[in-house]
Every structure is written in C-alpha cells, then in structure tokens.
Amino acid sequence: MASAQLLCRVEDIAEGEARGFGPLDGYRRKIVVLRRNGMLHAWLDACPHYPGGTPMAWKTDAYLNGEKTHLACHSHGALFDMESGECVLGPCLGQQLTRIALAISDEGEIFVAAAQEEKRA
C-alpha cells in the first residue's frame, strides 16, 4: 500500500479559506483543501470544463471568488459549491470536482493517501 502524504496541520486552514498543495506523488494536479462551516474538504485542482481538468487558481492559493462564497475556476469564472464540489455556474454547470479523501491524525496532521492510479477525466 502506498504511504500517506502529509499536507499540513488542521489549524493551517482557517474557516472560509482555501490552500493548494502539491502536485503530490501520483497526482497530476494540486489538491485544494478548504474549510467551510468548520469542516475540511479537499478537491483536485482540476476544473471539469475540459478533458483532463485545468488548474483553477489565478495565483498561488487564490481559489475563491471575490465574495469568498464559492470555489472558483479563474479560467472562465465557473463557481463550485465548497462543500459538495458541484458546479453551480459556468461552462461545466452540474458537473463535479473530484473529491480527495483526507485522513486526520490524532496530532491534527492532514494526510492524503498516495494515489495508486488516478483516473483520468
């Protein structure tokens, strides 16, 4: 089994904020970790608009829209629900971001499992 990879600590992601990590071994894109309503969510930094997925930030860690209400793709302004990953506006309306499972240690460290073979969109 592939080993888990450390992203950061739980306190590194504040409420309503998002950060990008990687790309880690086995992943072709970064992983976006955000906190919404107290819960951590992680998504592959790959907008489903085009095959293969395209990176969504306009600058390092700049993943949210101006109002900080949605995860945004800064290619064409697509907006995604931060908790469900569903595109609510934009060219990929109704499609989903790829969720990345997180594991949190007793010490508050956030890990992802190393991808064995990531499915290509």
The least CB distance from residue 104 to other proteins, in Å, is 27
Residue number with CB closer to other proteins (75 or 98): 75
Q: Is 91 in the site for other proteins (CB under 8 A)?
A: yes
C-beta of residue 48 within 8 angstroms of C-beta of residue 96: yes
Q: Is 90 in the site for other proteins (CB under 8 A)?
A: yes
For residue 102, give the H/E element and its range.
strand 102-104
C-beta of residue 105 within 8 angstroms of C-beta of residue 111: yes
Binding mask 32-71 for other proteins (x = CB under 8 A): ----------------------xxxxxxx-x--xxx----
Q: Is 76 in the site for other proteins (CB under 8 A)?
A: yes
The least CB distance from residue 31 to other proteins, in Å, is 15
d(CA 13, CA 108): 12
d(CA 104, CA 121): 27
Residue number with CB closer to other proteins (67 or 107): 67
Q: Which residue bears the tokens 């101006």? A: 66
C-beta of residue 86 within 8 angstroms of C-beta of residue 94: yes
Q: How big is the site for other proteins, counted in residues (CB under 8 A)?
A: 21
- Distance of alpha carbon 97 from the chain centroid: 8
Q: Which residues bind other proteins (CB under 8 A)?
A: 54-60, 62, 65-67, 73-77, 79, 89-91, 93
